[in-house]
């Protein structure tokens, strides 16, 4: 029997960006919050030996232990889903701060088009532009409504940047100026200007300058050490929940963090959540934590899995297209890219920062005419210099042998003589892309694993063809001696790293028939249960998701505070 603990106002499941933001905002208003985190505590001091590519990037130091829990994957419903036995396509965060610790810090706002994608696509191109099976829908919120929350997140995190000439209207500038400009970034910016595009510095959570945020949290500037993605920041310069929102929550005295606490079920009765059931993974003991309000703030897969395992909400059925939990799983379409080789120029590619780059949105969202194109939406195209660590970066021109003497010579020669331009393609949802519980494979507790059914579609292949060519065109303009553009997209596979930008499954919208949560991320079916994260995205944009996750979390926090004063539906 589980030990029943004293009731709290709010319990949050997973303490990353979502959990940290909710905890800080709620405790500042005097609510008592218990944060359950299944991983361990993390702090800046942990990263004393962080410049270790093998340990962090290739042995996955910061990530979930897959021997305990993984996901299963299949390309379509006709084949058997099998477990992701080792890491590849994406990396699951674990421990305090979650994926918010090992990210690169590229912090974009989704475009106004994203939030009204269905209406705006039909308005401009007609209904037939949306192919059969593509289940895009409006988000139940507009960019203008969400703008203040973007602003809030950017100020708390201290985002460094300059205005995106092709983005939504801003109420204020970024709290810190853009990052430094490397020679490669300058080449990209000049080339784009020459092509009449609109380059701007990538918005960055790696601080360009010392900064004190509105909560009084002071952080130092980025040192461009070249170890961001897959690493924690030894300086606390990269914004992560551990160095921004979590200390604010802790300082109120109203936040109780419990690490090594793995939540297995959301408890509910008569249409209300009553608390959660969790296991202390250090002792194996089970606890019940009752709460007035339950907030799921774990990663996409676990948000969906907890709802399905707890029998909350109607599971999505791809045959009928009805039900919502697990619906509209989407990802990121990244293969549209090009590499340029330089014979007479060497760049300091070993140096860099996770969000050090230059980009354009001329081909993102609906910023360009899709009338004669066989896809909708687009991609942010960028050159970024994140630090070319030596094990994982061995780029050689096509035709070079893949090992031996010639490979060695070419990989050494071009180590600092190549530049990559890449497109971060949006990903549209389809009726047959979804998440559900695997019928066969179990986690360490015997609970079913999350099952992903997903593959790339014609939409994605057309997008990659278009974007790969654009990337190549830009690199030619950047003066590369040899440009190799990739315009082909193979079937989705789980073994090669692409991005940890998984989205959907508990999507937001304006109707309980087509969405799981409203625009405060409050569940339609259980009004004291909020589900926060990229799980709320009805599709994924041509950007990194964290900026929009942060904005939605601040809006949800406002909703929860309202709900605490006056229970009921917030919309």
Partner 1 sequence: MANETEDKELKDHREPDQSRRNFLKNSGYAVGGLIVGGVVGSLLRTPKKATTNNNANTGNGNNGGAPAAEPVNFNQALMYFTQEQFLITEAATERLFPADDNGPGAKELGVAYYIDHQLAGEWGNNGREYMQGPFYKGETTQGYQGRLKRREIFDIGLQEIQNYSNKKYQKKFKDLAPEEQDAVLKAFETDEVKLTTISASGFFKTLFSATMEGVYADPLYGGNNNMNGWKLKNYPGNQMSYAKIIEQDQFAKMPPVSLKEHLPHS
HSE (side-chain half, CA atoms, 13 Å) at 224: 15
Closest CA to 417 of 363, 351, 478, 342: 342
Structure tokens at 383: 């050159």
Q: Which CA distances in Å does 22 have to 27, 142, 295, 350, 556?
A: 8, 22, 8, 37, 8
- Nearest CB to partner 1, comparing residues 33 and 239: 239
Least Cβ distance, residue 55 to partner 1 (angstroms): 8
- Whether 293 and 321 have beta carbons less than 8 Å apart is answered as no
- Nearest CB to partner 1, comparing residues 84 and 507: 84
**Distance between CA atoms of residues 152 and 160, nearest Å:** 14
Q: Work out the burial of residue 281: count CB atoms within 10 Å of its CB; fewer than 13 is exposed, 13-18 middle, 19 or more buried.
A: middle
Q: What is the 3-state secondary structure (H, E, C) of 470-500?
A: HHHHHHHHCCCCEEEEECCCCCCCCCCCCCC
Structure tokens at 205: 């959570």
Least Cβ distance, residue 244 to partner 1 (angstroms): 14
- Nearest CB to partner 1, comparing residues 74 and 124: 74
Least Cβ distance, residue 178 to partner 1 (angstroms): 12
Least Cβ distance, residue 66 to partner 1 (angstroms): 5
- Nearest CB to partner 1, comparing residues 3 and 181: 181
**Distance between CA atoms of residues 416 and 396, nearest Å:** 11
Closest CA to 570 of 531, 517, 532, 534: 517
**Distance between CA atoms of residues 189 and 53, nearest Å:** 30
- Nearest CB to partner 1, comparing residues 145 and 445: 445
Structure tokens at 444: 């360490």
- Nearest CB to partner 1, comparing residues 236 and 275: 236
Least Cβ distance, residue 353 to partner 1 (angstroms): 8
Least Cβ distance, residue 477 to partner 1 (angstroms): 19
Instruction: Check if 564 is active-site.
Output: no
Least Cβ distance, residue 71 to partner 1 (angstroms): 9
- Nearest CB to partner 1, comparing residues 57 and 295: 57
**Distance between CA atoms of residues 17 and 300, nearest Å:** 13
H or E stretch at 545: none
- Nearest CB to partner 1, comparing residues 115 and 456: 456
DSSP for 140-162, please give it: SS-HHHHHHHHHHHHHHHT-B--
Helices (H), 323-413: 405-413
What lies within 8 Å, CB to CB, of 136 at 6+ separation is 117, 118, 121, 130, 376, 428, 429, 538, 539
- Whether 114 and 365 have beta carbons less than 8 Å apart is answered as yes
Closest CA to 26 of 530, 442, 366, 544: 530
**Distance between CA atoms of residues 386 and 357, nearest Å:** 8
- Nearest CB to partner 1, comparing residues 29 and 411: 411
- Nearest CB to partner 1, comparing residues 52 and 473: 52
**Distance between CA atoms of residues 556 and 564, nearest Å:** 12
Least Cβ distance, residue 453 to partner 1 (angstroms): 12
Least Cβ distance, residue 239 to partner 1 (angstroms): 14
DSSP for 252-265, please give it: TT-EEEE-SEEEEE
End-to-end CA distance of the chain: 38
Least Cβ distance, residue 107 to partner 1 (angstroms): 20
Write down the catalytic residue from 201, 433, 501, 539. 501
Q: Which CA distances in Å does 447 have to 151, 268, 474, 485?
A: 40, 18, 49, 44
For the chain, give the longest Cα–Cα distance: 71
**Distance between CA atoms of residues 312 and 210, nearest Å:** 45
**Distance between CA atoms of residues 522 and 552, nearest Å:** 11
Structure tokens at 150: 């973007």
Report, as residue numbers or ranges, the catalytic residues.
Answer: 501
């Amino acid at each position: 029997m589980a030990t029943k603990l004293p009731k709290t106002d709010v319990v949050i499941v997973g303490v990353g960006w979502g959990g940290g933001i909710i905890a800080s905002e709620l405790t500042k208003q005097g609510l008592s919050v218990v944060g359950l985190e299944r991983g361990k505590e993390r702090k800046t001091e942990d990263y004393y030996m962080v410049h270790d590519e093998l340990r962090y990037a290739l042995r996955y130091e910061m990530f979930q232990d897959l021997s305990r829990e993984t996901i299963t994957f299949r390309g379509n419903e006709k084949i058997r889903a099998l477990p992701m036995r080792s890491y590849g396509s994406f990396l699951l965060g674990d421990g305090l701060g979650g994926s918010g610790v090992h990210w690169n810090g590229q912090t974009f706002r989704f475009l106004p088009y994203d939030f009204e994608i269905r209406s705006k696509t039909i308005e401009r191109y007609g209904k037939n532009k949306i192919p059969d099976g593509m289940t895009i829908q409006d988000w139940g919120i507009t960019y203008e409504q969400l703008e203040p929350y973007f602003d809030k997140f950017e100020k708390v995190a201290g985002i460094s940047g300059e205005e995106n000439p092709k983005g939504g209207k801003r109420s204020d500038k970024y709290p810190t100026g853009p990052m430094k400009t490397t020679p490669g970034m300058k080449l990209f910016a000049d080339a784009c200007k020459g092509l009449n595009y609109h380059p701007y510095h990538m918005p960055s959570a790696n601080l360009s300058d010392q900064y004190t945020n509105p909560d009084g949290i002071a952080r130092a500037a980025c040192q461009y050490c070249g170890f961001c993605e897959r690493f924690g920041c030894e300086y606390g310069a990269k914004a992560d929940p551990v160095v921004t929102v979590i200390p604010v929550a802790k300082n109120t005295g109203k936040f109780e963090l419990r690490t090594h606490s793995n939540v297995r079920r959301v408890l509910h009765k008569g249409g209300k959540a009553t608390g959660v059931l969790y296991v202390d993974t250090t002792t194996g003991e089970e606890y019940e934590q009752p709460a007035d309000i339950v907030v799921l703030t774990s990663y996409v897969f676990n948000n969906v899995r907890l709802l399905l395992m707890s029998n909350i909400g109607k599971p999505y059925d791809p045959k009928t297209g009805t039900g919502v939990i697990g619906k509209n799983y989407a990802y990121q379409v990244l293969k549209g890219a090009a590499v340029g080789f330089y014979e007479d120029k060497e760049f300091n590619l070993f140096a860099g920062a996770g969000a050090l780059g230059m980009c354009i949105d001329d081909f993102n969202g609906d910023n360009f005419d899709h009338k004669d194109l066989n896809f909708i939406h687009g991609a942010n195209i960028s050159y970024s210099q994140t630090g070319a660590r030596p094990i994982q970066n061995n780029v050689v021109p096509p035709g070079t042998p893949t090992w031996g003497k010639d490979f060695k010579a070419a990989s050494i020669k071009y180590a600092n003589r190549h530049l990559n331009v890449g497109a971060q393609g949006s990903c549209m949802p389809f009726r047959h892309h979804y998440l559900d519980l695997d019928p066969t494979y179990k986690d360490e507790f015997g609970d079913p694993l999350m099952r992903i059914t997903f593959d790339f579609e014609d939409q994605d292949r057309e997008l990659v063809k278009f974007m790969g060519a654009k990337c190549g065109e830009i690199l030619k303009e950047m003066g590369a001696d040899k440009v190799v553009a990739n315009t082909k997209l193979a079937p989705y596979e789980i073994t090669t790293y692409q991005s940890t930008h998984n989205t959907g499954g508990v999507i937001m919208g304006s109707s309980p028939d087509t969405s799981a949560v409203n625009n405060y991320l409050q569940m339609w079916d259980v009004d004291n249960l909020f589900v926060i994260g990229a799980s709320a995205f009805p599709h994924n944009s041509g950007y990194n998701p964290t900026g929009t996750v942060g904005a939605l979390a601040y809006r949800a926090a406002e909703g929860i505070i309202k709900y605490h004063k006056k229970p009921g539906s917030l919309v």
